[in-house]
Amino acid sequence: MKRKSLMAGNWKMHTTAIEARSLAADIARKCPETTDREVLLAPPFTVLREVAEVLSRTDVILASQNVCWEEKGAFTGEISPVMLKDCGVSSAIIGHSERRQIFHEDNALINKRVLGALSFDLMAILCIGETEEEQENGKTFAVLEAQVRQGLQGVEPQQMEKMVIAYEPVWAIGTGKTATKEQAQEVHLSIRRLIEKIYEKNIADRLRILYGGSVKPANVDELMSQPDIDGALVGGAALDAESFGRIINFI
């Protein structure tokens, strides 16, 4: 099953409006012509409109780094799916390990965000990943299974078209340590098998599973050569147009 690759840049808490415009424009110029892949940018909320404008005549997908489940109301500090769509956003990253670890978002809360995003027709990128300690204690798959099962609670089979899973081992984020291509492939395959168990083979075959954690120009080609790695979620290297340009043009 050939899935379209998804190459995503998560800018995290970086860029002022001027920086965001120029970074988005530089990246847009480097987007490959090929139809086998999509490029996605997730800037901070404050520059979504600027980036949307820069990307308006491109195929680059605009994503947010989080999303609330309610349309409006007393949710101080949150941003609703409707507000995001109003800024040109069509996708949302949900449950990033920084949200889980620093802001204590748990699987139940993340599940609400997933359901909220899908109900407003946003593509939802559910991030999962084990910590170093969990990995060392052999708990990787148990942790991922709980994150997937609870994160997808109540997601209907037909909504899986709009779901993406990003596997980001916490020990590989921003550390320069990448999972080897074999390690990542093994985990991705086990996630796909789990999805087959929860849903069905056809859904599992179509689901895109991204890898994240120190993806760089030097390792993107070998990661992307793996059969179950369908894209990358890139942090640090996505802030540099030269590096991200090379990543989205993986061979």
Amino acid (one-letter) located at 164:
V
Q: What CA–CA distances, in Å, run from 35 to 31, 32, 170?
A: 11, 8, 31
Among 184, 207, 233, 241, binds ligand 13P (CB under 6 A): 233
Q: What CA–CA distances, in Å, run from 147 to 15, 129, 182, 219?
A: 30, 8, 22, 26
Confirm whether 105 is a catalytic residue: no
- Cα–Cα distance between 28 and 59 in angstroms, integer? 9
Judged by beta carbon, residue 6 or residue 204, the one nearer ligand 13P is: 6
- Cα–Cα distance between 74 and 60 in angstroms, integer? 32
Cβ 65 to ligand 13P shortest distance, Å: 9
Write down the catalytic residue from 38, 98, 168, 188: 168
Instruction: Say how many residues touch ligand 13P, by CB under 6 A.
Output: 14
Judged by beta carbon, residue 196 or residue 240, the one nearer ligand 13P is: 240
Among 32, 154, 174, 227, binds ligand 13P (CB under 6 A): 174
Alpha carbon 101 to chain centroid distance?
17
Judged by beta carbon, residue 44 or residue 236, the one nearer ligand 13P is: 236
168 is a site residue for ligand 13P (CB under 6 A): yes
3-class DSSP assignment, residue 135: helix
Cβ 80 to ligand 13P shortest distance, Å: 22
Among 5, 6, 7, 10, binds ligand 13P (CB under 6 A): 10
Cβ 174 to ligand 13P shortest distance, Å: 4
111 Cβ contact list (under 8 Å, min separation 6): 150, 151, 152, 153, 154
Judged by beta carbon, residue 28 or residue 42, the one nearer ligand 13P is: 42
Alpha carbon 69 to chain centroid distance?
18
- Compute the half-sphere exposure of residue 193: CA atoms within 13 Å on the CB side of its CA: 8
3-class DSSP assignment, residue 95: coil
Structure tokens, 101: 């670890």
Confirm whether 38 is a catalytic residue: no
Q: Write out the DSSP string of 105-131.
A: --HHHHHHHHHHHHHTT-EEEEEE---
- Cα–Cα distance between 193 and 169 in angstroms, integer? 18
Stretch that binds ligand 13P, among 71-79, 111-119, 220-228, 230-238 (CB under 6 A): 230-238
173 is a site residue for ligand 13P (CB under 6 A): yes
Judged by beta carbon, residue 10 or residue 66, the one nearer ligand 13P is: 10
224 is a site residue for ligand 13P (CB under 6 A): no
177 is a site residue for ligand 13P (CB under 6 A): no
Catalytic residues: 96, 168
Which residues contribute to the site for ligand 13P (CB under 6 A)?
10, 96, 168, 173-174, 212-215, 233-237
